[in-house]
Amino acid sequence: MENVKREFEEELKSVKNFEELKQLKAAYLGKKGKLTSLFKKLKGLSEGEKKEFGRKINELKEHFERLLEEKSKEIFEAIKRESIESEAIDITLPARGINFGSLHPITKTIMEIEDIFRSMGFGVEVGPEIELDLFNFELLNIPKEHPARDMQDTFYINDNVVLRTHTSPTQIRVMKRQKPPVMFISPGRVYRRDSDITHSPMFHQVEGLLVDKNIRFSDLKCILTGFLKLFFGDVKVRFRPSYFPFTEPSAEVDIGCIICGGKGCRVCSNTGFLEVLGCGMVHPNVLINGGYDPENYTGLAFGLGVERFAMLKYGIDNIKLFFENDLRFLEQFSYHKGRLL
């Protein structure tokens, strides 16, 4: 009995899992187990010895069972500890942070342009994207044979309706419903059949119109020079004679190239200047078409492409980036003048 006890206690020490524990239990307490076979020896003993031996052997059995129970708890605790350790979460890792949404760079650019013109006293008007040929062309003094009306440039919905090719029809719409003076800008989408790295079939323009008594070309120069310096910083501004059917005289406005600082580069085609705006004094025919008397009123008008402004300001070299909605691109515009938008 003493030997069986010692052997059992020795073997128990090396038990590491439930499987081994089960085997040990079977080896001692099972049908053919070492302790079970000791019970068989009872038969050959005298009545007195039987009682003594029987009691001892039962005590040993209880002892084994207790030890097995303890070991079982020990193994269970060890398994629990192990899984807690392996599934532990490292709470010292820094948190991932919150992703804030951001304004699209085109929206941001329009807001910035609006801010500047609002500060000068301009209101903001909007016009429809699906526009009558009459407003998009005819009343803006663009005759039937004008190349801008070519199907290559204009999306026609039918003979009389187009997707507006510029924001200038808003000039007519506002003049027709409002007496002079008028002073507003009008941002919005425009459409032309054109697509490459600087042209997209849908893009944005901001139109400007100011009609009042005694509006002169010097007002146009002052407003646009001021606007460009506020938007781009301290840049050179140059007015160049040009032609638009709805303004006379007309001009295009260039800024000193902000990429090369005027030395000449790929972006400015080595001219040192970048064209950014079309403008002019409102053509008398357009004033008449809007219901204004050109004898008493004069006006200035301008139009700019928002994508071009955004590309120059943020150094973006492909217009498609604005429309692909790649978050890696868009997330770079989360901050606006140091504040979260």
Q: Which residue's Cβ has the minimum distance to ligand PHE?
A: 303
State yes or no: residue 154 binds ligand PHE (CB under 6 A). no
**Residue 193 structure tokens:** 């059949």
State yes or no: residue 247 binds ligand PHE (CB under 6 A). yes
> Which of 102, 136, 141, 168 touches ligand PHE (CB under 6 A)?
168
Helix-then-strand count for the chain, H and E: 12, 12
The sheet carrying 161-163 orders its strands as 130-132, 161-163, 156-158
Closest by CA position to 66, among listed 112, 91, 92, 29: 29
> Which of 303, 308, 321, 322 touches ligand PHE (CB under 6 A)?
303
**Residue 113 structure tokens:** 């342009």
State yes or no: residue 203 binds ligand PHE (CB under 6 A). no
State yes or no: residue 302 binds ligand PHE (CB under 6 A). yes
Closest to ligand PHE by CB, 257 vs 301, is 301
How far apart are alpha carbons 73 and 176 in whole angstroms?
91
Residues in the chain: 341
State yes or no: residue 166 binds ligand PHE (CB under 6 A). yes
Closest to ligand PHE by CB, 8 vs 137, is 137
Closest by CA position to 164, among listed 200, 198, 209, 134: 134
Exposure string over 213-240, b if 16+ CB within 10 A, otherwise e: eebeeebbbebbbebbeebbeebbbbbe
> Which of 278, 281, 319, 321 touches ligand PHE (CB under 6 A)?
278
Closest to ligand PHE by CB, 37 vs 152, is 152
> Which of 169, 280, 290, 299 touches ligand PHE (CB under 6 A)?
280
Cross-strand bridge partners of residue 241: 251
State yes or no: residue 116 binds ligand PHE (CB under 6 A). no
| Least distance to ligand PHE, CB of residue 250, Å | 6
State yes or no: residue 136 binds ligand PHE (CB under 6 A). no
List interacting residues with ligand PHE (CB under 6 A). 166, 168, 244, 247, 278-280, 301-303
